[in-house]
Amino acid sequence: MINFILNNQKISTNLPFSMKVLDFLRSQQGINGTKVGCRTGSCGTCLILVGKLDKDMVSYQPLNSCLLPLAEVNGRHLVTIEGLNCPQLNPIQQAIVNEGATQCGYCTPGIVIALTAFFLNSPSLNESLATVALDGNLCRCTGYQSIKRVLTLLCQQFTLPNEEQRSSWLIKNQILPTYFLEIPQRLQTIQAPKSHLTSISPNSTIVAGGTIPWQSDSSKQVIFLSQREDLSGIQIAANRCYIGATTTIDAMQHSQVMQKLFPKIEKYFALLASTPIRHRATLGGNIVAASPIGDLSIFFLALGASVDLNDGQNQRTIPLKGFFKSYKQIDKQSNELVERVHFPLPDCHAYFNFERVCKHADSEIPSVNSAIQIQMNDGLIQQIHLSAGGVAPIPLYLTNTVNFLTGKEIKVEVICEAGKIAQAEISPLSDVRGSTEYKHLLLRQLFYAHFITLFPEQIDSRDILL
């Protein structure tokens, strides 16, 4: 039985755990404001808010209902566009009307949901943060200029109160209807039981964030890892950083531990996917999917990370660079779970950089990405890790380039030579994201970009790009 609150109504259902929330809303509840778009989490027309009780507050995330299974709303508050309606148009809806920011109207419910999440969660109200909040919403009519005017209007219209008063302030300003006030109390009575899953059978389907399409198969048990709270979180112990497999991109991006280790992580991870996907996409899912262009695989390869695997009986640890075998083949048995990824803490002489290039926009699967970590000692490279995606059948650790650079001084001739070695150890294919030649060139440019960014005194772009 799955229990949750849908807008202002308590729901209990025995429908399959794996049914997508979008289908539940439209075909079971006749709630049609949530639209069907791409069904791949790319367009945002099916966005809903999902609220989770956290002590006596509810924290809401905008999620793609086309990817979200019913199991994941157990014990939660689910809000569709219908659940945001007040007696009159709310200020977000009114701003959209005032600025003529709805043309065919199909994307509008998703945009209202995304902007409501912005008001619920944003640390401040400014246009650049509001634009990021809409990074998962497409408007097929390309009415982006009028949508931008809506953001300007809303950011000028309101000033946020302090954190504790946020919900009552949103209700007072009719951005949320009044029934939201009672939701924390009501959710207390329908908390979902915790799972104590310990073993995985080879015949199970594992779902973490579920952002990579999966089919439910009645002969297979579906295991929803989000219920394993022990697999989520970031900790430092014994000079290493441990990240649970179900930790999301959003959680890493906003973690104080990660921000201290990688001061630019907010900027790096803002480039990945979109706000709703970052709330769901996990580290474990990214590396197990073994996409040759997987951003997290590339990021953690450059940290010299290791992976802990567990089959319920035994645990083993392997280096991430040995985890990827061939295209989508990994060193993992079907009954093994990736429990965590961990890496040695970089010391104060370590430099880190992450680069990615996309064909159209940043928040899209890149053509080529690359990460580097360098530890210097006495002006020489003492240790280096270098990775690149989109240039081989697997997320690639560039062993030959690493071997060449170890012990070297950083100067233009050395980096040019290393760039040639890097290009020689990749084997990109031509595809929709670029030709083989283009990807060879991109890798070299990203490799140079690492050094131009990290060592501007030794490597000047005008010298190296001649």
Ligand X SMILES: Cc1cc2nc3c(=O)[nH]c(=O)nc-3n(C[C@H](O)[C@H](O)[C@H](O)COP(=O)(O)OP(=O)(O)OC[C@H]3O[C@@H](n4cnc5c(N)ncnc54)[C@H](O)[C@@H]3O)c2cc1C
Closer Cβ to ligand X, 323 or 404, answer by number: 323
Is 446 exposed, middle or buried (CB count within 10 Å of its CB: 0-12, 13-18, 19+)? buried
Cα 232 from Cα 216, distance rounded (Å)? 24
Interface residue with ligand X among 155, 277, 341, 422 (CB under 6 A) is: 277
Which parts of 293-332 interact with ligand X (CB under 6 A)? 294-296
Closer Cβ to ligand X, 168 or 221, answer by number: 221
Q: Which token pair is 361? A: 């926009």
Which parts of 325-344 interact with ligand X (CB under 6 A)? 337-338
Which parts of 220-249 interact with ligand X (CB under 6 A)? 225, 245
Sheet strands (E) in 14-161: 47-54, 57-64, 77-79
Interface residue with ligand X among 80, 102, 174, 211 (CB under 6 A) is: 211
Q: How far is the CB of 57 from ligand X (least distance, A)?
A: 25
- The binding track of 250-269 with respect to ligand X, each residue x by CB under 6 A or -, is --------------------
Sheet strands (E) in 157-290: 204-207, 221-224, 234-237, 240-244
Burial 25-60 (b: 16+ CB within 10 A, else e): bbeebebebbbebebebbbbbbbbbbbebeeeebeb
Closer Cβ to ligand X, 44 or 346, answer by number: 44
Interface residue with ligand X among 71, 84, 206, 405 (CB under 6 A) is: 206
Cα 409 from Cα 458, distance rounded (Å)? 10
Q: How far is the CB of 257 from ligand X (least distance, A)?
A: 19
Interface residue with ligand X among 112, 120, 207, 381 (CB under 6 A) is: 207
Which parts of 5-64 interact with ligand X (CB under 6 A)? 40-42
Q: List C-alpha distances in Å: 172 to 56, 106, 150, 178, 371.
A: 20, 28, 20, 8, 46
Closer Cβ to ligand X, 99 or 295, answer by number: 295
Q: How far is the CB of 63 from ligand X (least distance, A)?
A: 12
The residue with its CB nearest to ligand X is: 285
Q: How far is the CB of 61 from ligand X (least distance, A)?
A: 14
Which parts of 338-397 interact with ligand X (CB under 6 A)? 338, 365
DSSP secondary structure string for all residues of 224-258: EGGG-GGG--EEEETTEEEEETT-BHHHHHT-HHH
| 273 is a contact residue toward ligand X (CB under 6 A) | yes
Q: How far is the CB of 285 from ligand X (least distance, A)?
A: 2
Burial 411-430 (b: 16+ CB within 10 A, else e): eeebbeebbebbbebbebee
In the DSSP assignment, the letter for residue 60 is: E
Distance linking the first and last C-alpha atoms of the chain: 65
Q: Which residues sit at the interface with ligand X, rule CB under 6 A?
A: 40-42, 206-212, 225, 245, 272-273, 277, 280-282, 284-286, 288-289, 294-296, 337-338, 365
